[in-house]
Amino acid sequence: MSSAEPNQPNDSNTVNDTSNSAVNCNEKQIKFTSLMWRHFTYEEVNGTKKAVCKYCRKEITYTTKNGIKGMHSHHKSCKIRTGQKKIDDFQSQLTRKRSKTDESGGSILATHRFNYDDSRTNLPKMITKHDYPLRIVEHEGFRDFCQGLQPLFRPICRNTARSDVMKLYGKEKARMMHFLESIQGRIVITTDMWTANYQKKGYMIVTTHFIDDSWQLQSRLLR
Give the model confidence (pLDDT) of 33-55 as tens digits.
677 888 888 888 777 888 888 88
pLDDT at 137 over 90: yes
Q: Quote the CA–CA distance of 98 and 107 in Å, as a whole number.
A: 4
pLDDT at 216 over 60: yes
User: Are 156 and 162 contacting, i.e. CB atoms less than 8 angstroms apart?
Assistant: no
Residue 26 pLDDT? 41
Residue 91 pLDDT? 47
The single-letter DSSP state of residue 151 is T
Residue 1 pLDDT? 42
- Residue 18: band (very low, low, confident or very high) from pLDDT cuts 50, 70, 90: very low
pLDDT at 94 over 70: no
Q: Which of 100, 155, 165 is nearest to 133 (CA)?
A: 165
Q: Is 87 exposed, middle or buried (CB count within 10 Å of its CB: 0-12, 13-18, 19+)? A: exposed
- Judged by DSSP in three states, 121 sits in helix
pTM: 0.48
In sequence order, the β-bridge partners of residue 156 are none
CB burial string 133-147: b at 16+ within 10 A, e below: ebebbeeeeeeeebe
If you compute the radius of gyration of the chain from its CA atoms, what whole number of angstroms results? Answer: 27
Residue 2 pLDDT? 42
